[in-house]
Amino acid sequence: MIRTDIMIKYTPFLLLLILISCTRQMKFDKEKWNEQIDPAFPSSYRHKMLNDLTQNYKLIGLSCSQLKERLGHADYKDNNSISYKIILDYGGDIDPVYTQDLVFTYSKASIITSYKIIEWKK
């Protein structure tokens, strides 16, 4: 039988440990960035790598083909932007309840001019 005084003493520590492990950042790794169990969902590592990618890698000024070399195929592309799904959360619903995307804008010369993180919540 577990003693309640021990549980009370260590519960805050265990909760902190769980919280830290869930939000831990990772260095960018192209293979993990593109790893997908289900083609409909982004890699589970992308949100952990996002900060390292945007803070430590030159993204502005790359050509679209260089960006593709670095990040792999985009999830969406139109006439002036490329986006990568970071988080796609359905909660318990059939429609998404939260999304996060990394969206790059490029010039007519196909050079990345800016990027932003777009979040949507139902």
Q: Return the exposure string of 73-105: e unless at least 16 CB atoms fall within 10 Å of the residue's CB, then b.
A: ebeeeeeebbbbbbbbeeeeeeeeeebbbbebe
Average confidence (pLDDT) over 44-65 = 96
Distance (Å, rounded) from C-alpha 80 to C-alpha 77? Answer: 8
Total number of residues shown for the chain: 122
Quickly state the pLDDT bin for 14 (edges 50, 70, 90): very low
- pTM for the full predicted model: 0.77
Inform me whether the pLDDT recorded for 21 exceeds 80: no
Inform me whether the pLDDT recorded for 11 exceeds 80: no
- Domains of the chain, by residue range, sit at 26-121
Q: What is the pLDDT of residues 62-120, one digit of tens each?
A: 999 999 999 999 999 999 999 999 999 998 888 999 999 999 999 999 999 999 999 99
Inform me whether the pLDDT recorded for 27 exceeds 60: yes
Contact predicate 76/83, CB 8 Å = yes
Distance (Å, rounded) from C-alpha 42 to C-alpha 85? Answer: 6
Q: What is the pLDDT of residues 59-78, one digit of tens each?
A: 999 999 999 999 999 999 99
Inform me whether the pLDDT recorded for 42 exceeds 90: no
Structure letter (DSSP) for residue 114:
E
